[in-house]
């Protein structure tokens, strides 16, 4: 499915906008001391954190892409996972998830090995992002408002886990396809 907007631009825009608006709400809260302004600051600051932490993960983790070994046990999809992916009908809804950088998953640009490594890399980015989603819970100590922090952390983590499942599902199918092609080549020789 072709993205209707450039997702990378949208992602950066939301990150910058949420940071700017959180500063505005923080300053106005300090001036007027209204609890609604504090809630708005917390909400937009938390949104900024979730987007910014994903940008950081997406920048740092690929620096170690050469160290990724897709054959490690961690990357292997288990039979129970396959059953779960079929149960949740991932094949039907995966097309609605955006891609941050389409070039990473372009079969015309990347070799099968590069595609598999890119899928592993993307899985790691989203796994670490899902874990970082719970870091804002520490701010409950300073600001209270646990509901805002808990809801945004759970939602952000859930969204990242959708992408983790997508990468594992697609990678497993792609690895099986590449293996079948290799097997056919061996049989035809």
pLDDT digits (tens, 9 = 90+) for 21-60: 999 999 999 999 999 999 899 989 999 999 999 999 999 9
Rg (CA), the chain: 20
pLDDT digits (tens, 9 = 90+) for 131-188: 999 999 999 999 888 988 999 999 999 999 999 999 999 999 999 999 988 888 776 7
When pLDDT is cut at 50, 70 and 90, the band that residue 1 belongs to is very low
Q: Rounded to whole angstroms, how far apart are CA atoms 162 and 130? A: 10
Domain ranges of the chain: 7-188
Residue 42 CB neighbours (<10 A): 25
Question: Alpha carbon of 164 to those of 131, 146, 156: distances in Å?
Answer: 12, 27, 13
Instruction: DSSP for 98-124, please give it.
Output: --S-GGGG-TTTS-HHHHHHHHHHHHH
Q: What tokens appear for 105 in the block?
A: 């998953």
Selection from 27, 53, 55 nearest residue 41 by Cα = 27
């Amino acid at each position: 499915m072709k993205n209707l907007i450039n997702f990378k631009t949208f992602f950066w825009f939301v990150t910058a906008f949420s940071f700017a608006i959180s500063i505005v709400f923080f300053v106005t809260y300090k001036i007027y001391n209204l609890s609604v302004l504090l809630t708005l600051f917390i909400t937009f600051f938390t949104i900024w954190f979730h987007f910014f932490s994903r940008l950081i993960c997406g920048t740092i983790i690929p620096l170690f892409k050469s160290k990724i070994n897709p054959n490690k046990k961690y990357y292997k999809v288990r039979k129970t996972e396959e059953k779960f992916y079929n149960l949740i009908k991932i094949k039907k809804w995966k097309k609605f998830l955006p891609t941050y950088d389409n070039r990473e998953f372009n079969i015309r640009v990347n070799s099968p090995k590069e595609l598999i490594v890119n899928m592993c890399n993307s899985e790691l980015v989203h796994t670490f992002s899902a874990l970082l989603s719970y870091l804002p819970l520490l701010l409950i100590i300073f600001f209270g408002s646990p509901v805002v922090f808990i809801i945004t952390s759970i939602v952000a983590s859930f969204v990242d886990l959708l992408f983790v499942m997508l990468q594992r599902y697609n990678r497993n199918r792609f690895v099986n396809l590449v293996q079948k092609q290799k097997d056919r080549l061996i049989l035809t020789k």
